Amino acid sequence: MVTGYARMKDLENARRYFDEIPEKNVVSWNAMLSAYAQNGFPEEALKLFDDMMNSRDKPNETTWAIVISACSSCGDCSLADSFVQKLNQKRIHLSYFAKTALLGMYAKRGSLQAARQVFDELGVSRNTVTWNAMISAYTRVGDLASARELFDKMPERDVVTWNSMISGYAQNGQSALAIDLFKDMITAADDPKPDEVTMVSVISACGHLGALDIGNWVISIVRKNHIKLSISGYNSLIFLYSKCGSMNDAKRTFQEMTTRDVVSYNTLIAGFAAHGHGMEAVKLLSKMKGEFVEPDRVTYIVILTACSHAGMLEEGWKVFESIKAPDADHYACVIDLLGRVGKLDEAKKIIDDMPKEPHAGVYGSLLNASRIHKRIDLGEFAASTLFELEPHNSGNYILLSNIYASAGRWDDVVRVRELMRKVGVKKATGWSWLEYKGKLHKFIVGDRSHERSDDVYRLLAELGRKMRNSGYMADKTCVLRDVEEEEKEEMVGTHSEKLAVCFALLVTDAEAVIRVVKNLRVCWDCHTAMKMISNLEGRKIILRDNNRFHCFSDGICSCGDYW
């Protein structure tokens, strides 16, 4: 009766029958303990275990496994430690099942050393569950090398194993490795069948890389294997299309969904924000509220970002004022919004009057606005605080250096560069990639390691001549003063996005859209060059930098030179 009611999730009647048992034994206690533990009431399970310890009935191996699982679920580390201490004091010899539960508990709380000790103690008796638990524990803390070492040694893998490793790569910024491992999965000898968890991780990885062709190939596998997608699966598709610059497909996917959650709306709004479609983002917020989906803090962040990228000050300010308890991230967005339209003094006043302590994002927004509008005073104020909050973030030093360089204050430029050397900060390397025939081709600023480098640089030189004949002059204002003019032009002329676009011009059809992803913000010179190349070559170029999308066509950028 106890077990039957527990399976029906009627714990009230389960407990009533348990209490009425005239003579309880260990099976009785385990039945009720399982009822609590398996139905999401770990605290009640642990209270009942204390009652059991005070009774004449002694726990058996099943009891220990149930209680360990309950400790794992409740998330109370001190309680779990206390329980393990009891086990050690009583010199309890745990069975294989109890040790597996103990391993799961340590893995879930991130106690890798303790988890690995239990894992090693299991020796040859380890099964897929224990291997998967250990691999997941490593991926959860970002130790991908240890996770992969176990993955490669594992005698038999199931779909959970593959998913753990693939999602581990995807969630720790190793999207290319996630896709490569997925390719291994679908050709593996043991023929594991991918499920929705697999596909969500891989589709998201394709989105991070901006790899639309690979993403479409992955979608074809979803259809081929008749994998039914939940809301999470559809959300990953919206993310993929938005990150690859295909907003029409993102909107189509959103409209096809019969049920949407807050993540669905946030993902599409973020796509609108990245493309500068501020009005569409604001309209979607209204639709969201009309469908009784409650906006969360992320919703307001992406809406404010959309308004900022579109220069929609009035709409953005209304959104900000509607937030009941704005946090520091919301303030950072509104500072960015004000700063981009040139209202830097108002932005500075908001920082001074903030009810909460501003974080680096707030000062970073002010620093970037100071760069755009050449406000050296506010740039110095923001940078000085950022150097304390983020002493090793190279971007802050570079922004201040560029503010000084554009004003011709070269002594200050040198001073900032010296400060970088003193602190041990190195400028982040600029790189871009694009997808061609299922492979990602990566280009680094000034690099000649690509197999088609000679052809790329030859075409780049040819395009340079064409652009100069059309009135183009390289923007060399942010290159150090003591560098020769020709060297300055070469330094800005070989930025990674220019190399990537030239490679695309060499290998793709004349009608194909060129899609490039860059890890840093696009500079003014490259932005101007991309507009001219799109016009001279009659090609559409979609460039995604670390801030937003730029869609170049016929000499015009979708951002309207406002980013």
Give the integer Cα–Cα distance in Å for 72 and 115.
Answer: 12
Domain that holds residue 292: 260-319
Mark which of 408, 428, 448 sits at the end of a domain: 428
Q: What is the average pLDDT across 476-489?
A: 47
Asked, for residue 107, whether it belongs to a domain, the answer is no
Q: What is the mean pLDDT of residues 385-404?
A: 94
For residues 288 and 348, membership in a common domain is answered with no
Q: What's the chain's average pLDDT? A: 90
Do the domain assignments include residue 402?
yes
Looking at the fold, whether 267 and 220 belong to one and the same domain comes out as: no
What's the CATH number where 355 sits? 1.25.40.10
The verdict on 367 and 341 lying in the same domain is yes
Domain assignment present for residue 529? The answer is: yes
Q: Are residues 238 and 285 in the same domain?
A: no
**Cα(547)–Cα(274) distance, integer angstroms:** 7
- Based on the fold, state whether residues 498 and 553 are members of the same structural domain: yes
Q: Of 428, 451, 482, at which residue does a domain stop? A: 428
| Residues 368, 436 share a domain | no
**Which pair of structure tokens corresponds to residue 102?**
């103990």
Residue range 426-448: average pLDDT? 90
Given a cut of 60, whether residue 251 has pLDDT beyond it is yes
pLDDT of residue 400: 95
Choose the final residue of a domain: 224, 246, 268: 246
Instruction: Looking at the structure, tell me whether residues 344 and 228 fall in a common domain.
Output: no
Q: Which pLDDT band holds residue 90 (cuts at 50, 70, 90)? A: low
Residues 341 and 289 both lie in one domain: no
Do β-strands 541-544 and 439-444 pair in parallel, antiparallel, or remain unpaired? unpaired
Strands (E) in 359-475, as ranges, are: 431-436, 439-444
pLDDT, tens digit (0-9, with 9 covering 90-100), for 347-368: 999 999 999 899 999 999 999 9
Distance from chain centroid for Cα 416:
31
- Give yes or no for residue 109 having a pLDDT over 80: no
Res. 345: pLDDT tops 70: yes
**Token pair recorded at residue 236:** 């990953």
The answer to whether 253 and 536 are in contact (CB under 8 A) is no
Contacts for 1 with CB less than 8 Å, ≥ 6 apart:
14, 17
Residues in Cβ contact with 324 at an 8 Å cutoff, skipping those fewer than 6 apart: none
Q: Which helix (H) or strand (E) holds 426?
A: none
State whether residue 96 is helix, strand or coil.
Answer: helix
Total domains present in the chain: 4
Angle, alpha carbons 269-271-274 (nearest 5°): 110
Statement to judge: residues 413 and 495 lie in one domain: no
Strands (DSSP E) along 489-533, which ranges? Answer: 514-518
Q: What is the pLDDT of residue 485?
A: 42
Q: What are residue 442's phi and psi, to 5 degrees? A: -105, 140
Residue 468 lies in a domain: yes
187 shares a domain with 212: yes
**Residue 320 tokens, joined:** 């900000």
Q: Please check whether residue 276 is in contact with residue 547, taking contact to mean a CB–CB distance below 8 angstroms.
A: no
Grade residue 541 by pLDDT with cuts at 50, 70 and 90: very high
- Which pairs with CB-CB distance under 8 Å and at least 24 residues apart come from 22-26? 24/55, 24/57, 25/57, 26/57, 26/58, 26/59, 26/60, 26/62, 26/63
Q: Name the residue with higher pLDDT: 63 or 343.
A: 343
Residues 424 and 461 in one domain: no
Residue 533 near residue 467 (C-beta atoms within 8 A): yes
C-alpha–C-alpha distance, residues 277 and 228, integer Å: 31
In a domain, 527, yes or no: yes
Secondary structure letter of residue 479 according to DSSP: S
Give yes or no: residues 367 and 422 share one domain: yes
pLDDT band with cut points at 50, 70 and 90 for residue 428: confident
